[in-house]
Amino acid sequence: MTAGLHDPSSTRGTGPRLLGPAEVRRLAERLGVRPTKQRGQNFVIDANTVRRIVRASGVGADDVVLEVGPGLGSLTLALLEVAARVVAVEVDPVLAGALPATITAYAPDRADRVEVVEADALRVTDLPGPAPTALVANLPYNVSVPVLLHLMELLPSLRHGLVMVQAEVADRLAAAPGSRTYGVPSVKAAWYADVRRAGSVSRSVFWPAPNVDSGLVAWTHRDPPAVDVGRAEVFAVVDAAFAQRRKTLRSTLRQLAGSAEAAEAALAHAGVDPMVRGEALGVTAFARVAEGLALGRARVRTEGTAT
């Protein structure tokens, strides 16, 4: 048994016992772990918070859950109360190595439902076992959006999920067209899912306490807009549209389209006023603009071949 953990037999048959402030600090001390800002390590020390996260995620008995950054295991143990299986991706080798022993000690009846993968979630290309159906994670603030988008693209089996991120990032991810916080993360997340705010989390439930509050973002998978271009083409339009927020789409898309006239033709294809800004468009409109650009390029190639 790993030192610092209680006797596993004391919880046998009772379900997982969750980590509180004393257990988290004791585990960290035993492992010689000092949370680092570089990896965005802020460990949840409140059992009620992790249970709330699991409830809000909608995870059920049939779900295979992907958890990113399990840390010392607070959220992992709460997920094991309801999920069929948890695949935990942890980049820190010390934390990844210690998690199986923590699960064995605190949830002995469910230790076989967890698989720990030591890897950087931004660089994961596949996962062991059954395809995950849900993503539930306390994402590091500095890479939360790239990690979320990467996993949504990599794993089409994901049907729903909930992530805890910095409050401002949560606002951006869930923002609607026309709002002050609407931008690139909002549109790109909407390509994969219906996204909504699912609550706030006080900084006081973390150790160490971060300098900002956190927000919960829930999402449900949906198919991308039905257009004749792919994600990369649409995302290129989104990036260009928000590169200069104060400028009109006719102006911001000029370089990508090749000319202001080509940009205007693509916007006309999408039924979009060339004088509006990117913040006015939803993901479907952006997809239609990307389709219009592709049609314009094809037309130019055809005319060039004909001459």
Q: Residue 40's pLDDT is what? A: 60
φ/ψ of 109, rounded to 5, equals -70, -10
- Residues 215 and 262 reside in one and the same domain: no
Report d(CA 232, CA 219) in Å as an integer: 21
Mark the ranges of the chain whose per-residue pLDDT is less than 50: 1-13
- 126-148 per-position pLDDT tens digit: 999 999 999 999 998 889 999 99
Exposed e or buried b for every residue in 127-142, given b needs 16+ CB within 10 A? beeeebbbbbbbbbbe
Residue 172 pLDDT: 97
- The answer to whether residues 109 and 137 belong to one domain is yes
Whole-number pLDDT of residue 34: 79
Domain check: are 62 and 18 in the same one? yes
The one-letter amino acid at 131: A
Q: Count the domains in the chain.
A: 2
Would you state the structure tokens that stand for residue 101, as one six-digit string? 């022993």
User: Where residue 238 sits, what CATH number does that domain have?
Assistant: 1.10.8.100
Residue 160's domain is classified under what CATH number? 3.40.50.150
Question: DSSP labels for 194-228?
Answer: EEEEEEEE-GGGEESPPSS-EEEEEEEE-PPP--S
Helix axes 184-192, 231-243, angle to 10 degrees: 160
pLDDT at residue 22, as a whole number: 94
* Predicted pLDDT of residue 299: 83
Task: Name the pTM for this structure.
Answer: 0.90
Let me know if residue 2 belongs to a domain: no
Same domain, 109 and 182: yes
**Residue 3 maps to a domain:** no
Q: Are 299 and 258 in a shared domain?
A: yes
Q: Indicate whether 209 and 241 sit together in one domain.
A: no
d(CA 290, CA 243): 16
Cβ contacts of residue 190 below 8 Å, gap of 6+? 282, 283
